[in-house]
Amino acid sequence: MSAAEAAAAPARRALPGAPLAGVAGLLVVWEALARLPGAEVLLAGPMAVALWLGENGALMARALAVTGAEAAAGFALGNLAAVALALCAVAWPRAERLIAALALLVFCLPLVATGPILRVLYGPGPGPQVTLAALAVYYTTFVPLLVGLRAAPAAWFDVVASYGRGRWAEILHVRLFAAAPYLVAGLQIAAPAAFLGAMVGEFTGAERGMGVLTIRALRALDVEATWALATVAALVSIAVYAAIGAAGRRLLREPPPVLLAPPGAGGGARPGAALGQAALAGGVALALWWGAMEAFGLNAFFAKRPGDVWAFLVTDPGAAAHRAELFGALADTLALAVPGYLAGLAAGAALAVALTLAPGAAAVAMPVAVALRAVPIVTTAPLVVLLMGRGAAGTIALVAVMIFFPVFVAALHGLARAPGQVLDVFESYAAGPLRRLVHAQLPAMLPAFFAAARMSLPAAILAVTVVEWLATGRGVGALMAISASLSDYAMLWSAVVVVALATVAGHALVAAAEARVLARYAGEQRR
Amino acid sequence: MRNGRTHLTRRGALALTGGAAAAGMLGAGARAATPATLQLSWLHSVQFAGSYIAQARGYWAEDGLDVTLAPGGPNAPVEPPVVSGRALVGVSAADYTAAAVAQGAPFRIIGVAMQKNPFAVASLPENPVERPQDLPGKRIGMALANMPVLEALCTLNGVDIDRIEIVPTQYSAAPLLAGEVDCLLCWATDLPVAMAVQGVESVTMLMADHGYALQSQTYIATDESLRTRRAELVGLMRGETRGWAAYRADLDAAVATTLEMHPDANLDPRAQRMQAERQVPLMFSELTEARGFGWFSAATVEETIETLAVLGHDVSPDLWDRSILEEVHAG
């Protein structure tokens, strides 16, 4: 059962008109907001948007074809890469940590900085758009897939072993089937991310597309066009989300099996070994960084090598000033990213739990949740910042919106992974929904929740830096944008390194919490 | 006199066209058009209409060039493609060029499209900013990246910047219209035009009228290109010169060409026409009337160097190289 099914199944039990009522309610609230005094320079209502689309349908269709193709290519490439990486990690368990660490590191590279570099590498054309879309999705598929590839009952592996078959047979016949529901969840989360990646990719200098039109509309005060673009982007993301969910429901009819081992927890590695692994990953990353630049013959004016960053931050006469500027900006950024991240985690899990307890609400909540995430942050950032002020609240709210959706989908999906047999036990003892939630569904949710928490961390950094770059002009996001415009590439690369390392460190913190919590709940699952 | 000069230039250009076309025909069998990329500093719009005219009317083709116009964007690199050789020429601005050179980029400024800097402070008539002295006590919305610009304006006019409330905003007129700020730091040719198209009158204080003398939309090329790809540089700048002369002569045609070449850009014809008109006094001056499009003199270079010094960039006149323009305007 997929995440979408978890939401849709109860909806079917509710009133038949409930989804329509949800959408209608959303439209009414939206129109009302747009009619508030002062909103006319920031928000266009559904009527104005429909009118604009009616007049400019051909233009929008052409832009959608361009951006849609970029997003689709990035979606396909990114998810294929995720599947390949996850399979490699499972096939060669010794390499798993290294693969996971490098995959994380690449995902943590801030796109404010990678965009222009990709543009220089590719030259004119869709290269940066496709690459940024792929980079935006591969990790959110890789992480749940890795969990899913392990989420098979030990008995299934015993069957494979009893036939004398090896690891690849195990992957082909057991793990891929076990992973399929997790893959569906990953692909669903990927849909809006790919679209956003393609749109931001167009900011690096594209001839046409919805990202290009968005920049123009924002600058031209064309509120109708701005929100028409956001609406189309959201509708496409919602359609893809629903289509993947529907495909998942058709393909995956097996009820979830009982797992007698905690998935994803992994053996507790000794601290020494973990440090060794980290050092190895760091070394490989540095070698790749340096090697790629040399291989492509990238000019040292903008393609700074590891040694340049080291000099800029450590050995230069001005290194102390550079560090002060960079870490000051980073501190500003983290002060917004951390509360936004935590709020997003809490909101995502809370809504998933609420929908499990009151399934009828799903019809209203699901469209709102998907729409919130699917409307590109590029469009919403100025609006939310204006509504909530240029202080901390606006940025924190935007980060929470970005985090909320993947966590919500993953948590919903995890709640649905509570095995039928276990739920039957609760049923037979006439236990209430709350008991069932606390003792069966929440523990089942935790692996997926933590996977989402880990992979959302880079999304939080992405959200903050994009808001800082486009709306508030503070923090490390603005610093990166200014450095790029002033050709201060040593600062830009240093910011990339420091942001990526900070994200990886945050990831390690979450992973440590995850290991503790899952270890405690593993006992329950073994009961 | 203006018309006479334009006419002369056009006739000169026509004569030149004939010569170049003949030369092109003679050489056509021997070589295909040489590819060259011009990296623009922003998205396609009438801001680069002269280049579109050069493209559409085949001015570059006549010089044996196959020019690609690479659009810019909010996250698009301009200087790196020129350094890496992917673009032959980039459209930068004197301050960005100076910063890049300080970071080791081997650039020369080979032409100046905007003789007057387009930066302005835009405000609403009921609470106008007409002089820098009006700024204290006001809330100004701007990208923090432009702080040096505001600082320079204040230094040049003896205004205490601490008495201005700086609100970091996205680059849009929305914060001004929403009452979040009293004025905006922007280009005179974009956000005020956007407001005018929406029916909002605004007051525009051009910073160039208050001591901010900084050449903008400067053409940059590397030392190496200046040594090894001179013919292409001359051809590219000749096309620009002819394109901008045609622009000057007929703004309507320039707008039409811009719209025709970019049907997917959602360009508003009224806004483009207005922008085209507001660009004219920034791009064409007595100096360009006398010496030709893109020209710079020792005096205008010196003014820009002084403003750059206020901005914190220390450059020498060696940053400018007029040899390409001299060849273009001699021929």
The answer for residues whose C-beta is within 8 angstroms of residue B297's C-beta and 6 or more apart is B287, B291
Q: A116 at the B interface (CB within 8 A)?
A: yes
> If contacts are CB pairs under 8 Å, which of residues 366-405 in chain A contact chain B?
381-382, 386, 390
**In terms of C-beta density within 10 A (0-12 exposed, 13-18 middle, 19 or more buried), how is residue B331 classed?**
exposed
A-chain residue closest to B44, CA distance: A207
Q: Which residues of A touch B74 (CB under 8 A)?
A: 203, 215, 470
Band of pLDDT at residue A521, cut at 50, 70 and 90: low
- Is the Cβ pair B169, A206 closer than 8 Å? no
CA distance B125 to B196: 13
Beta bridge pairs of residue B185: B121
Identity of the residue numbered A103: A
The per-residue pLDDT for range A53-105, each reduced to its tens digit, is 999 999 999 999 999 999 999 999 999 999 999 989 888 888 888 888 888 88
**In terms of C-beta density within 10 A (0-12 exposed, 13-18 middle, 19 or more buried), how is residue A314 classed?**
exposed
pLDDT over 80 at B30, yes or no: no
Average pLDDT, chain B: 89
- Is the Cβ pair A489, B103 closer than 8 Å? yes
Cβ atoms of A233 and B207 closer than 8 Å: no
> Within 13 Å, how many C-alpha atoms sit on residue A415's CB side?
28
- Going A218 to A223 to A224 to A230, the CA torsion angle's sign is positive
Q: In this predicted model, which residue has the larger pLDDT, A294 or A252?
A: A294
3-state secondary structure of B108: strand
- Is the Cβ pair B81, A225 closer than 8 Å? no
Q: Which of A121, A221, A226, A305 best tests the B interface by mutation, with the highest count of B CBs <10 A? A: A221
What is the structure's pLDDT at A524? 33
CA distance A474 to chain B (A): 8
Q: What is the mean pLDDT of residues B65-83?
A: 91
Q: Which residues of A touch B179 (CB under 8 A)?
A: 38
The answer for residues whose C-beta is within 8 angstroms of residue A415's C-beta and 6 or more apart is A6, A352, A353, A356, A441, A442, A444, A445
Question: How would you list the strands of the sheet with B119-123, edge to edge?
Answer: B165-168, B139-142, B183-187, B119-123, B203-206
- Is the Cβ pair B43, A212 closer than 8 Å? yes
Q: Which residues of A touch B267 (CB under 8 A)?
A: 216
**pTM of the full predicted structure?**
0.85
Q: What is the mean pLDDT of residues A312-324?
A: 93
Domain spans of chain A, in order of start: 3-526
Q: Which residues of A touch B83 (CB under 8 A)?
A: 299, 301-302
**In terms of C-beta density within 10 A (0-12 exposed, 13-18 middle, 19 or more buried), how is residue A277 classed?**
middle
Q: What tokens were used for B276?
A: 């085209």
User: What is chain A's alpha carbon radius of gyration, rounded to the nearest angstrom?
Assistant: 23
- Is the Cβ pair B143, A301 closer than 8 Å? no
Q: Which of B40, B42, B66, B75 best tests the A interface by mutation, with the highest count of A CBs <10 A? A: B75
What is the structure's pLDDT at A14? 45
Q: What is the DSSP letter of B207?
A: G
What is the structure's pLDDT at A65? 96
What is the structure's pLDDT at A402? 82
Q: What tokens were used for B174?
A: 């929305």
A-chain residue closest to B199, CA distance: A221
pLDDT over 80 at B237, yes or no: yes
- Is the Cβ pair A119, B77 closer than 8 Å? yes
Q: Which residues of B touch A470 (CB under 8 A)?
A: 74, 170
Which is nearest to A72 in space by CA: A133, A114, A142, A138? A133
Q: What tokens were used for A517?
A: 């919590």
CB pairs under 8 A between A and B: 161
CA distance B98 to chain A (A): 9
- Is the Cβ pair A302, B167 closer than 8 Å? no
Compute how many other C-beta atoms are within 10 angstroms of the C-beta atom of residue A299: 17
The answer for residues whose C-beta is within 8 angstroms of residue A331's C-beta and 6 or more apart is none
Q: A318 at the B interface (CB within 8 A)?
A: no
The per-residue pLDDT for range A219-258, each reduced to its tens digit, is 888 889 999 999 999 889 888 988 998 888 887 766 555 5
- Using the structure block, give the residue that is written with the tokens 């209502």: A45
Phi-psi region of B178 (alpha: psi -120 to 50; beta: other; left: phi over 0): alpha
pLDDT over 80 at A151, yes or no: no
CA distance A40 to chain B (A): 9
The per-residue pLDDT for range A361-418, each reduced to its tens digit, is 776 777 677 777 777 777 777 777 767 766 788 888 888 888 888 788 878 877 777 7
Angle at which helices A475-485 and A489-526 pack, to 10 degrees? 150
Domain spans of chain B, in order of start: 2-116+214-330, 119-210
Cβ atoms of A395 and A472 closer than 8 Å: yes
Q: What is the mean pLDDT of residues A408-436?
A: 76
CA distance A240 to chain B (A): 25
What is the structure's pLDDT at A264? 42
Cβ atoms of A191 and A237 closer than 8 Å: yes
Pairing mode of beta strands B34-39, B89-92:
parallel
How far is residue B322 CA from its own chain's centroid? 17
Least confident of A35-39, B52-56, B57-61, B79-83: A35-39
Q: What does the H/E/C string look like for A292-337?
A: HHHHHCCCCCCCCCHHHHHHHHHHCCCHHHHHHHHHHHHHHHHHHH
Q: Which of A56, A219, A298 best tests the B interface by mutation, with the highest count of B CBs <10 A? A: A219
Domains B2-116+214-330 and B119-210 share a fold: yes
Band of pLDDT at residue B25, cut at 50, 70 and 90: very low
> If contacts are CB pairs under 8 Å, which of residues 415-474 in chain A contact chain B?
470-474
CA distance B181 to B176: 5
Q: Which residues of B touch A205 (CB under 8 A)?
A: 70-73, 76-77
Q: What tokens were used for A45?
A: 């209502």
A509-514: long-range pairs with CB below 8 Å, 24+: A510/A450, A510/A453, A510/A454, A510/A457, A511/A454, A513/A450, A514/A265, A514/A450, A514/A453, A514/A454
- Is the Cβ pair A42, B174 closer than 8 Å? yes
What is the structure's pLDDT at A111? 79
- Is the Cβ pair B86, A298 closer than 8 Å? no
Beta bridge pairs of residue B67: B36
CA distance B38 to A138: 34
Band of pLDDT at residue B14, cut at 50, 70 and 90: very low
What is the structure's pLDDT at A522? 42
Q: What is the mean pLDDT of residues A192-205?
A: 90
Q: Which of A40, A60, A111, A301 best tests the B interface by mutation, with the highest count of B CBs <10 A? A: A301
- Is the Cβ pair B43, A215 closer than 8 Å? yes
The matching CATH number, chosen from 3.90.1150.10, 3.40.190.10, 3.40.50.2300, 3.30.1330.60, for B119-210 is 3.40.190.10
* Phi, psi angles (nearest 5°) of residue A473: 65, 25
What is the structure's pLDDT at A451? 80
CA distance A394 to chain B (A): 13
Band of pLDDT at residue A271, cut at 50, 70 and 90: low
Q: Residue B39: enclosing H or E segment and its boundaries?
A: strand B34-39
The answer for residues whose C-beta is within 8 angstroms of residue A3's C-beta and 6 or more apart is A184, A185, A188, A245, A409, A410, A412, A413, A416
Cβ atoms of B188 and B203 closer than 8 Å: no
- Is the Cβ pair B76, A203 closer than 8 Å? yes
Cβ atoms of A192 and A373 closer than 8 Å: yes
Band of pLDDT at residue A16, cut at 50, 70 and 90: low
Which is nearest to B27 in space by CA: B37, B36, B19? B19
CA distance A205 to chain B (A): 4
The per-residue pLDDT for range A463-502, each reduced to its tens digit, is 888 888 877 778 898 888 888 888 889 999 999 999 999 9
Helical segments of A173-222, H only = 176-202, 210-219
Band of pLDDT at residue B155, cut at 50, 70 and 90: very high
Q: Which of A66, A298, A474 sits opposite B168 (nearest CB)?
A: A474
Q: How far is CA B156 from CA A86, A515, B120, in A?
A: 60, 60, 15
Cβ atoms of B105 and B80 closer than 8 Å: no
What is the structure's pLDDT at A256? 58
What is the structure's pLDDT at A97? 83
Q: Which of A120, A212, A478 sits opposite B84 (nearest CB)?
A: A120
Cβ atoms of A132 and A111 closer than 8 Å: yes
Cβ atoms of B110 and B220 closer than 8 Å: yes
Q: A37 at the B interface (CB within 8 A)?
A: no
Cβ atoms of A186 and A257 closer than 8 Å: no
Q: Mind giving me the DSSP string for A360-414?
A: GGHHHHHHHHHHHHHS-HHHHHHHHHHHH-TTHHHHHHHHHHHHHHHHHHHHHHH
Q: What tokens were used for B73?
A: 């964007």
- Is the Cβ pair B105, A221 closer than 8 Å? no
User: What is chain B's alpha carbon radius of gyration, rounded to the nearest angstrom?
Assistant: 20
Q: What tokens were used for B180?
A: 């979040």
- Is the Cβ pair B75, A115 closer than 8 Å? yes
- Is the Cβ pair A473, B197 closer than 8 Å? no
Identity of the residue numbered B317: P
What is the structure's pLDDT at A52? 95
Q: Residue B121: enclosing H or E segment and its boundaries?
A: strand B119-123
What is the structure's pLDDT at A71? 95
Architecture of domain B2-116+214-330: 3-Layer(aba) Sandwich (3.40)
Q: Residue A436: enclosing H or E segment and its boundaries?
A: helix A433-436
CA distance A471 to A384: 10
* Phi, psi angles (nearest 5°) of residue B128: -80, 155
